[in-house]
Structure 1
């Protein structure tokens, strides 16, 4: 991918030149530089790994009583769901049954 030296827009190829559709800037293409560029066509798709059964959700855990199964550990995270001048809401997910509940600051 190349960008315009004058305006910064993305350049498009037209024959042996790179051309800016915004300001009309042109420059000659360099075959050696283009051969070194990584394209999406040249990338291989990696193996898809299913981690849905993984125990670690990448979230911190804390002591919290699950209202469904009485387990005492839960993952937690904070999320802004109200106006910006309101405090965030803390969400919990049980480490055993994956029940989700929230705790609002009052």
Structure 2
């Protein structure tokens, strides 16, 4: 008997997707509730996941191979050599509601530093 609903994939108690650690039962990885394997046997499951979904889940950025990084110059004293000029660029390293991280490179000695 085919099910038109997809609730057989999920835990009845907490809604987490079930795993199948045994040939006898499916188990919720969160609350450890078990369901008889016959409840999900012979059901076809398909889903699509995009590369964007994977990047978002892992917190990764798209890195373009041929992107040329443009560096701006700023007056900033180097912690290492005391030179007064550095190049910098910014990146969003944390969540969008937090500030960017600024990366500095001394034009005199190449020392690198950052500010959050």
TM-score normalised over the length of structure 1: 0.42
Determine which structure has the larger helix proportion and give its number.
2
TM-score normalised over the length of structure 2: 0.39
